[in-house]
Amino acid sequence: MPTESTFLLAGLFLLLAAAGWAMGRFGERDEEAAPPPLNIDYLKGLNFLLNEQTDQALEHFLRMVRVDDKTIETHFALGSLFRRRGEVDRAIRIHQNIIARPDLAAEQRDQALYSLAKDYLGAGLLDRAEKLFVRLAQGSRFQVQALEALCGIYEQERDWEKAIESGQRLEVLGGRSLALQIAHYHCELAEAAAAKKDYASARKSVKKAQSGRPRTMRGALTRAHIARDTDDNKTALKLYHRIIDENTYLIAEALPEIVSIYERENATAELESALQAMLKKNPEMNSLVAYTAIVNDLGGIPAIDDCVEQYMLNEPTLGEFVDLQQLTEGAEGSREFALAKVRGALSKLASATPRYQCQECGFSSQRLLWQCPSCRNWETQRPASRVQFDTVLQHSITDL
């Protein structure tokens, strides 16, 4: 099927024919005697296009119209149009053709290299794109864009050392703070080291992550995980509690860890009093605790079970569908049975729906992702709130 870029190419051929006709000369034929009024080359090119042989038409165009000051913008425009249309191979062909010109001005060469690097990126040829961006980042008017692109490439390749280096250079050249982004690069290194049980390196990276401002809570969470994995339960508990205090939205990450540490130590009484103290300090946390418990299937802990029960009894949306008051009026056994049944259904609903959503682009996922895979922003995901949970309920209530 002819595409927008094919039409543009056809337009160019017609334009060239008209220009050639009117001026009697064009491109590499400048030095020759005036060509015949309607050059056979243009007709050949058009013929390729009419037969939908865009590649042949493009090759023909590139052979016919040499890159010079008058035509270079047309070449760039055609190349960028091909890339935007996803026809990356053709864009690459055009930009390589520009670069091949021996007497190209430095600025135009940089622009062509930058365009070619973007083509490679679009084609998923990260190695080739990286090479060109590294060259441009060394000194060109595309330095900042090249470093931004390099950060993106190193993120994809999970080459965090190089990402840190590019990020730091970008901060200097771009004149803006990338502290949060760079902190996450350090956290990635810390997590990778911790996975290999190299806790000394992991701690060093966490320290670097926490030195920047704004500070990422991921640093504290990684520190807590390291303490947990090195059996320093006291520090782990202190950190998990602090995370909940400072960033309640991370409760879903920290609360199950707190419960599991106390349970491993068979310290159920201590768990109960720690939870009571936490809820007393921050009563509005009840529904968050309930939601976390439902999502993570935490049960059998009085302080948490109370939160879940209150949540179910006071949840207006839930009340529209299930008369919990009536259900729970019976004998003690049937009341517990009714609540457990509703709780089980809620848990099932929660596990079937995304729990986190990016505040920038709306991308949602089951588990917390520090970098949004869609918009590539860092730390923009937040857990589903009550309202979103209600929406899910409205859609799926037939499952109850």
3 state DSSP class of 390: helix
- Parallel, antiparallel, or unpaired: how do β-strands 364-365 and 356-358 relate? antiparallel
Q: How far lies 95's CA from each of 58, 78, 118, in Å?
A: 12, 9, 10
Contact indicator for 327, 400 with CB cutoff of 8 Å = no
Residue 215 DSSP code: P
Separation of alpha carbons 275 and 256, rounded Å: 12
Least distance from C-beta 365 to Zn ion, angstroms? 10
Least distance from C-beta 357 to Zn ion, angstroms? 9
Q: Residue 92 or 358: which CB sits closer to Zn ion?
A: 358
Least distance from C-beta 342 to Zn ion, angstroms? 33
**What residues contact 101, with CB distance under 8 A and at least 6 apart?**
66, 67
Least distance from C-beta 7 to Zn ion, angstroms? 34
Least distance from C-beta 375 to Zn ion, angstroms? 3
Residue 140 DSSP code: S
Least distance from C-beta 376 to Zn ion, angstroms? 7
Q: Residue 256 or 354: which CB sits closer to Zn ion?
A: 354
Q: Residue 268 or 374: which CB sits closer to Zn ion?
A: 374
Contact indicator for 372, 152 with CB cutoff of 8 Å = no
Separation of alpha carbons 214 and 155, rounded Å: 20
Sign of CA dihedral 199, 205, 208, 212: negative
Separation of alpha carbons 192 and 201, rounded Å: 10
Q: Residue 28 or 360: which CB sits closer to Zn ion?
A: 360
- In the complex, the residues that contact Zn ion under the rule CB under 5 A are 358, 360-361, 363, 372, 374-375
Q: Residue 61 or 363: which CB sits closer to Zn ion?
A: 363
Residue 136 DSSP code: H
Q: Residue 72 or 361: which CB sits closer to Zn ion?
A: 361
Q: Residue 108 or 181: which CB sits closer to Zn ion?
A: 181
Least distance from C-beta 372 to Zn ion, angstroms? 3
Least distance from C-beta 371 to Zn ion, angstroms? 9
Q: What's the 3-state SS for 295-331? A: HHCCCCCHHHHHHHHHHHHHCHHHHHHCCHHHHCCCC
Q: How many CA atoms lie within 13 A of 295 on its CB side?
A: 23
Tokens of 88: 């990356």
Q: Residue 180 or 361: which CB sits closer to Zn ion?
A: 361
| DSSP code per residue over 3-57 | -HHHHHHHHHHHHHHHHHHHHS--GGGTTSSPPPSS-HHHHHHHHHHHTT-HHHH
Q: Residue 67 or 372: which CB sits closer to Zn ion?
A: 372
Closest by CA to 240, choosing from 225, 44, 101, is 225
Least distance from C-beta 211 to Zn ion, angstroms? 26
Least distance from C-beta 182 to Zn ion, angstroms? 19
Q: Residue 142 or 363: which CB sits closer to Zn ion?
A: 363
Residue 352 amino acid letter: A
Residue 194 DSSP code: H
